Amino acid sequence: MTSQAPLLSVKDLKVHFPTQDGIVKATDGLSFDLESGKTLGIVGESGSGKSVSSSAILGLHRGTSAKVSGEIVLNDTDLLTISDEQMRRRRGKNVAMIFQDPLSAMHPYYTVGNQIMEAYLVHNKVSKREAKTRAIEMLDRVGIPQPDRRVNDYPHQFSGGMRQRAMIAMGLINNPGLLIADEPTTALDVTVQAQILDLLQDLQREFNAAIIIITHDLGVIAEMADDVLVMYAGRAVEYGPCKEILTHPEMPYTWGLLSSVPDVTGDTDARLIPIPGLPPSLLNPPSGCAFHPRCTHKDKVKGNLCKTEMPELLPGNRGPEHTKRCHLADPEQIYFTEILPEIAPDLVEEFAEVNPDGSVGDAEPVRSSDAAAEAEEKKI
C-alpha cells in the first residue's frame, strides 16, 4: 500500500435496523480502505450485509430508522457527519452507484436520455442542450449504437445489456471518484456480462475511479478485483489482495465458497462440497464465530472457542495484508492437505508457489503495480 491517504476509508461501520423483534445487525463493524484506480470486491451470500454497507456509503439510510455508526471517510470528509444537503451534493458527483436490476432501477416513464441528463444537471450549471450533448457523449462512450437516436428511447426499448450500459453512463457522467456496482452483471448473460466487465475496466482506466464491486460470483471477483472482502453475517471474515485470497484462503467460509461452485475446467467426477446448513439470522446471530454452526473445521480448535468467542479480524501467517476472522491455528496446511486436493488436485503445487505478494516461486513479482493508481485523481 502506498503512503498517500486512501480515497475511501471505512472504519467500524455498523448499520443496525431496529425491528419489533429486536435489532437486525445487517453490518456490524466493517473496515476497509480503497485507493483511486483500484477495485474492491465484496463477496458473500444474500443477507450477509454487502448491499447494506454500500448503500450506507451512499447515505441511502438517511431518513430511515436505520442506525448507522462508524466512519466513512471519502476525500477527507466523514460522510456520516455531514448534513443531508452536503450529502446530496456529493451523491452522484463524488460517489455513484450502479444497481443490480437496471429495469427496476430506471424510471419507466422518462426517456433514458432524460434520466442521464438529470444526474448531470443536478451537479452542473449547464443548459439542457449541453446536458443532452453530454448524455449522448456518455452513451457513445459506453458503447450504445446510434446514441443520438437512442437517447430519446424509453428504458423498455433497451435490451438488458444496453440498460446496464445506460446505468453505467448515468453513474459516470459526473466522473465520480468512487463507483459502487451492486451485482452489476447478475441479471445478464455471460457474453453480455463479459462486455460489461470489460467496459467497467476500460472506464476505470480512463477515469481513474475507484470501484467497489459487490457480487456473489467469485469468477467476477477473480477478474475484476484488486482486493477482496469476504462477508458473512454482517462482518468481514477475510480481507486481502485478490490473488492471495483465491490461492491461499484461510477462512473455512471462503473455502466453502470456492469448493461449492463447479469450475468450467474442473474435474467433472469430483463432487461439489456444499456448505452445510443455512445463512444465520442477523436478528439472533450465533454465539462466538457466526460461521461455527456451518463450519466443518471447528473441531480442530481446542475447547469450545469457536462457540464462545468471536475471533478478531487478524493477520494470519501470510503477512499483514491478508486478514481473517478465524481461530484455526494453521489454516494454510488444512487448505492444502484437505480442501484443495478435493476440489482441484492439479492446482495444489501451483497455488503453493504463490507468494504473499502475488509472485510465483522465487521469480520477480509479476503483479504489475497499476500505473493508473499513481496518477493523480482526474477531475473534469
Partner 1 sequence: MTDQTVTSDSGSAKSAEQSSEFAASRLAGGDGRDAILEVENLRMYFPVKSSGVIRRTVGHVQAVDGVSFQVPAGGALGLVGESGCGKSTTGRLITRLYQPTGGKIMFEGKDIAGLSPKKLMPLRRDIQMIFQDPYTSLNPRHTVGAIVGAPLLIHNVVPKKKVLPRVQELLEVVGLNPEHYNRYPNEFSGGQRQRIGIARALTLQPKLLVADEPVSALDVSIQAQVVNLLQDLQREFDISFLFIAHDLAVVRHFCPEVAVMYLGKIVEIADRETLYNHPQHPYTQALLSAVPDVKQAAIGGRRERIRLEGDVPSPINPPSGCRFRTRCPLAQEICAKQEPPLLQIGERHKVACHFAGEIGQHPTKPVTARLLGIDDQGNPDPGATPDPNAVEQPGFADTWYDVQGGHLGAKA
In the complex, what is the shortest distance from the CB of residue 200 to partner 1, in angstroms, rounded to a whole number? 13
Largest CA distance in the chain: 70
Among 246, 325, 356, residue whose Cα is nearest residue 48: 325
**Which of these ranges, 8-16, 55-63, 74-82, 160-168, lies near partner 1 under the rule CB under 8 A?**
160-168
C-alpha cell at 371: 500505473
Q: Which of 73, 258, 290, 313 binds partner 1 (CB under 8 A)?
A: 258
Given phi > 0 = left and psi -120 to 50 = alpha, else beta, which region is 238?
beta
Given phi > 0 = left and psi -120 to 50 = alpha, else beta, which region is 12?
left
Nearer to partner 1, 3 or 46 (CB): 46
In the complex, what is the shortest distance from the CB of residue 254 to partner 1, in angstroms, rounded to a whole number? 11
DSSP structure class, residue 215:
E
Which residues are bridge partners to 12 per DSSP? none
Using CB under 8 A as the binding rule, whether residue 350 contacts partner 1 is answered as: yes
CA–CA distance, 193 with 198 (Å, rounded to integer): 9
Binding-residue total with partner 1 (CB under 8 A)? 54
Nearer to partner 1, 62 or 216 (CB): 216
Nearer to partner 1, 194 or 314 (CB): 194
Which residues in the 65-124 window bind partner 1 by CB under 8 A? Answer: none
Which residues in the 216-255 window bind partner 1 by CB under 8 A? Answer: 216-223, 243, 246-247
Nearer to partner 1, 180 or 245 (CB): 245
In the complex, what is the shortest distance from the CB of residue 33 to partner 1, in angstroms, rounded to a whole number? 23
Long-range contacts: 217-221, Cβ < 8 Å, 24+? 217/185, 217/186, 218/43, 218/246, 218/257, 218/258, 218/261, 219/261, 220/41, 220/185, 220/193, 221/41, 221/43
Q: Which of 109, 265, 376, 379 binds partner 1 (CB under 8 A)?
A: 265
* 325 phi and psi angles, rounded to 5 deg: -115, 85
Q: Which of 191, 299, 369, 376 binds partner 1 (CB under 8 A)?
A: 191
Using CB under 8 A as the binding rule, whether residue 145 contacts partner 1 is answered as: yes
Q: What three-state secondary structure class fits 259?
A: helix
Q: Which residues bind partner 1 (CB under 8 A)?
A: 45-46, 145, 159-162, 189-195, 197-198, 216-223, 243, 246-247, 256-266, 268, 271-276, 278-279, 344, 347, 350-351, 354, 360, 366
